[in-house]
């Protein structure tokens, strides 16, 4: 079964510390993975997609097919990074593909 697992509900770090938000997936085909972020009182927005291999707001994520992981990393956390982060997997089938979201990790960056 297709599944996205984010093992940490809450991750708390100090400003300037490295951050790694974990995401593991289960998918039989070639995965398409995304990270979405939701800042307090704002709408959900796309942060990263693995196919573009870009860095947004200092965050990067590398797809590791061997470990079936797509961890989100940032070398130096900032207070404004505090938010809810969701890993999502694109599932194709039926009339059209759709996203499967993990349960989310709340990142808290302390001053």
- For position 3 contacting other proteins by CB under 8 A, the verdict is no
Decide if 15 contacts 111 (C-beta within 8 A): yes
Q: Which residues contact 82 (CB under 8 A, 6 or more apart)?
A: 39, 40, 107, 108, 109
Please report whether residue 13 would count as binding other proteins according to CB under 8 A.
no
Are 109 and 81 in contact by the 8 Å Cβ rule? The answer is yes
Nearest to 48 by CA among 86, 92, 104: 86
Task: Say whether residue 1 binds other proteins (CB under 8 A).
Answer: no
Q: Is residue 34 involved in binding other proteins (CB under 8 A)?
A: yes
Is 30 a residue that touches other proteins (CB under 8 A)?
A: no
The answer to whether 85 contacts other proteins (rule: CB under 8 A) is: no
Output 90 or 107, the one with its CB closest to other proteins. 90
User: Smallest distance, Å, CB 14 to other proteins?
Assistant: 25
Contact 64, 50 (CB under 8 A): no
Which positions touch other proteins (CB under 8 A)? 6, 9, 32, 34, 43-46, 49, 51, 86, 88, 90, 94-104
């Amino acid at each position: 079964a297709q599944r996205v697992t984010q093992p940490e509900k809450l991750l708390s770090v100090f400003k300037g510390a490295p951050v790694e938000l974990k995401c593991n997936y289960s998918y039989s085909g070639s995965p398409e993975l995304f990270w979405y972020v939701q800042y307090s009182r704002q709408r959900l927005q796309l942060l990263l997609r693995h196919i573009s291999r870009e860095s947004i707001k200092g965050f990067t994520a590398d797809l590791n097919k061997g470990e079936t992981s797509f961890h989100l990393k940032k070398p130096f956390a900032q207070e404004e990074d505090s938010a809810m982060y969701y890993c999502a997997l694109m599932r194709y089938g039926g009339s059209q593909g759709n996203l499967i979201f993990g349960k989310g990790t709340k990142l808290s960056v302390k001053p």
